[in-house]
């Protein structure tokens, strides 16, 4: 037992002689910061320490491809250089863009007489982007009873836009159920998430001027240009007349060919051609290829 006392004494002395590395309490006013594009965003990072501590502050951005420095060695780096400033240990970003969206980490280390202290806080920044002018697809014409689908889409807005269709300047109602659809005489299905407007059986009453509006609560809503859709009945009488005329022309052509064959026109024509070929072949070659002597 006595032989183990020096080892225990060494471990005891080593434990108390090592520098103290403990956690530093880091807080933030908002873990999920949202800011409109081209405005400013503040990422707060607060701590509690005594005046005798020496601080080292770093900010990093966590991305799928790895971690990159945002604030290092008392200066900003990368895209934030010239657009950001320190607010104590937090940062203010001016003129934020959609590229600034992401997860940021504030890391603070402090040295004191008691030892080294470390702490960190993670903040998510979401840059809100107003929608752009949506692209709308509206057919210019359609036949009654057919399926017609209109589409409306824009891809820049953040959060994603919702879409509202208008007919002749009046907002279309959203189909919420079979009962309400029958009551309102709704013949279409409008999906505000995807921007589609679907007519399962379009009617002449659906003729009109259509446009779509995209909005996500950021900035002004945007709409596409007005496009007109004309719905007409299927002209059955016109189709029947056209079919009859085509059939009549085909019958006349067939009768003409039959009459020509009956009269032997094609046989006579064939004999005439064969006779001409024989006459040409019977001509002596000197007459066919006459040499002209110079005068």
Span 104-128, pLDDT tens digits: 999 998 876 667 778 899 999 999 9
Q: In the prediction, which pLDDT does 292 show?
A: 45
With a cut of 70, say whether residue 279 has pLDDT above it. no
Domains in the chain and their CATH numbers? 21-128 (2.60.40.10), 135-232 (2.60.40.10)
pLDDT band at 295 (very low <50, low <70, confident <90, very high): very low
Q: In the prediction, which pLDDT does 271 show?
A: 63
State the burial class of residue 138 (Cβ atoms within 10 Å of its Cβ: 0-12, 13-18, 19+).
Answer: buried
With a cut of 70, say whether residue 148 has pLDDT above it. yes
Q: In the prediction, which pLDDT does 64 show?
A: 85
Q: In the prediction, which pLDDT does 1 show?
A: 42
Mean pLDDT over residues 210-231, rounded?
Answer: 96
The pLDDT > 70 percentage for the chain reads: 68
- Mean pLDDT across the chain: 81
With a cut of 70, say whether residue 235 has pLDDT above it. no
Return d(Cα 191, Cα 185) in angstroms, integer: 17
Among 160, 165, 228, 231, residue whose Cα is nearest residue 198? 165
Q: In the prediction, which pLDDT does 16 show?
A: 37
Strand duo 20-23 + 115-128: pairing: parallel
CA 199 to chain CA centroid, Å, is 24
With a cut of 80, say whether residue 102 has pLDDT above it. yes
With a cut of 50, say whether residue 260 has pLDDT above it. yes
Return d(Cα 186, Cα 179) in angstroms, integer: 10
Q: How many CB atoms lie within 10 A of CB 218?
A: 18
CA-based radius of gyration for the chain:
43
**Cβ–Cβ under 8 Å, residues 151 and 137:** yes
Q: In the prediction, which pLDDT does 285 show?
A: 55
Q: Tell me if the pTM is above 0.85.
A: no
Return d(Cα 224, Cα 47) in angstroms, integer: 50
Between helices 236-262 and 265-282, what is the axis angle to 10°? Answer: 50
pLDDT band at 174 (very low <50, low <70, confident <90, very high): confident
The SS3 call for residue 116 is: strand
The pLDDT > 90 percentage for the chain reads: 55
């Amino acid at each position: 037992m006595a032989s183990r006392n020096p080892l225990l004494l060494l471990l005891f002395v080593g434990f108390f002689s090592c520098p103290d590395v403990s956690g530093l309490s880091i807080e933030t006013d908002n873990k999920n910061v949202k800011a409109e594009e081209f405005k400013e965003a503040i990422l707060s990072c607060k701590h509690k320490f005594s005046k005798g501590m020496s601080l080292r502050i770093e900010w990093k951005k966590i991305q799928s491809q790895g971690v990159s420095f945002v604030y290092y060695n008392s200066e900003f780096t990368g895209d934030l250089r010239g657009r950001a400033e320190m607010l104590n240990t937090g940062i203010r970003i001016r003129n934020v863009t959609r590229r600034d969206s992401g997860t940021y980490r504030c890391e603070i280390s402090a040295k004191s007489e008691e030892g080294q202290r470390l702490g960190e806080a993670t903040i998510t920044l979401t840059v809100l982007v107003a929608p752009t002018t949506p692209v709308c697809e509206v057919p210019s014409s359609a036949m009654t009873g057919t399926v017609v689908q209109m589409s409306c889409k824009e891809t820049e807005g953040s959060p994603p836009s919702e879409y509202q269709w208008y007919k002749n300047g009046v907002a279309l109602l959203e189909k919420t159920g079979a009962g309400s659809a029958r009551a309102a005489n709704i013949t279409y299905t409008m999906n505000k998430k995807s921007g589609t407007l679907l007519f399962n059986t379009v009617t002449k009453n659906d003729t009109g001027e259509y446009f779509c509006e995209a909005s996500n609560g950021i900035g002004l809503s945007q709409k596409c240009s007005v496009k007109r859709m004309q719905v007409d009945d299927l002209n059955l009488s016109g189709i029947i007349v056209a079919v009859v005329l085509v059939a009549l022309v085909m019958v006349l052509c067939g009768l003409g060919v039959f009459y020509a064959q009956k009269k032997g026109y094609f046989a006579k024509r064939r004999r005439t051609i064969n006779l001409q070929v024989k006459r040409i072949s019977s001509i002596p070659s000197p007459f066919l290829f006459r040499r002209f002597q110079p005068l």
